[in-house]
Amino acid sequence: MEADPTYALAHFDLANLYDERGERNKALEHYEAALLISPHYADAHYNLALLYQGSNQPMKAVHHWTRYLKLDPNSHWSTIARQELAKLRRTTILPGSRA
User: How far is the C-alpha of 96 from the C-alpha of 89, rounded, in Å?
Assistant: 12
In a domain, 43, yes or no: yes
Write the DSSP symbol of residue 75.
S
Total number of domains in the chain: 1
In a domain, 63, yes or no: yes
Which region among 21-35, 45-59, 65-79, 80-94 has the lowest average model confidence (pLDDT)? 80-94
- Are the C-beta atoms of residues 21 and 14 closer than 8 Å to each other? no
Residue 53: CATH number of its domain? 1.25.40.10
Widest pairwise Cα distance in the chain: 55
Q: What is the pLDDT of residues 56-77, one digit of tens each?
A: 999 999 999 999 999 999 999 9
- Residue 76 belongs to what domain range? 8-91
Residue 89: half-sphere exposure toward Cβ, Cα within 13 Å: 12
Q: What is the pLDDT of residues 8-17, one digit of tens each?
A: 999 999 999 9
Average pLDDT over residues 73-84: 96
Average pLDDT over residues 26-47: 96
- Are the C-beta atoms of residues 95 and 62 closer than 8 Å to each other? no
Phi-psi region of 25 (alpha: psi -120 to 50; beta: other; left: phi over 0): alpha
Which pLDDT band holds residue 91 (cuts at 50, 70, 90)? Answer: confident
**pTM for this entry:** 0.86
Q: What is the dihedral of CA 65, 6, 8, 67, to 10 degrees?
A: 20
pLDDT averaged over every residue in the chain: 90
pLDDT at 82: 97
